[in-house]
């Protein structure tokens, strides 16, 4: 997973790309991600909140404080640092409507990543399993 950055420094890190998108664009965004050569996988969570417009035109009203929220989906994608720009371009192209509240995309570094199914394996066992799956 190593890549060479433009500064000549090797960057083998992973990044977490988080996108807040309109719920009605879910199919279009997921379809666009499926078209990527190396589909990174994702997690999708229903979210509600307020942007700079403070929820104007929102679709959810909390009764106790009479707060208005916008409904959105939060999509999280862990990918190689080299794939971040491609993932962001795909998300923004598929999630764009040109209207207020289209959402945001932000990127954070991933300090550690491990698959739960591989937690009890030794490195040799993991390599043997990967070789078996490749056949």
Helix (H) and strand (E) counts in the chain = 3, 7
Alpha-carbon distance 7 to 13, whole Å? 15
pLDDT band at 70 (very low <50, low <70, confident <90, very high): confident
Contacts of 35 (CB under 8 A, 6+ apart): 90
Q: Return the C-alpha torsion angle 44, 56, 54, 90, nearest 10.
A: 40
* Structural tokens at position 69: 């929220």
**CATH number corresponding to 14-54+69-134:** 3.30.70.120
Residue of higher predicted confidence among 114 and 26: 26
Enter the pTM of the model.
0.72
Q: What is the mean pLDDT of residues 34-63?
A: 77
Per-residue pLDDT, 9: 40
Per-residue pLDDT, 63: 58
């Amino acid at each position: 997973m190593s890549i060479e950055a433009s500064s000549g420094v090797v960057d083998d890190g992973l990044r977490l790309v988080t996108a807040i998108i309109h719920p009605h664009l879910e199919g279009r965004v997921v379809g666009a991600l499926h078209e990527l050569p190396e589909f990174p996988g994702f997690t999708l969570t229903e979210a509600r909140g307020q942007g700079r417009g403070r929820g104007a035109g929102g679709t959810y009203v909390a009764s106790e404080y009479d707060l208005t929220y916008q409904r959105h989906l939060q999509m999280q994608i862990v990918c190689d640092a080299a794939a971040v720009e491609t993932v962001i371009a795909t998300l923004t192209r598929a999630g764009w409507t040109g209207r207020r509240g289209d959402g945001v995309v932000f990127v954070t570094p991933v300090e550690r990543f491990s698959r739960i199914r591989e937690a009890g394996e030794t490195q040799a066992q993991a390599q043997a399993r990967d070789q078996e799956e490749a056949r």
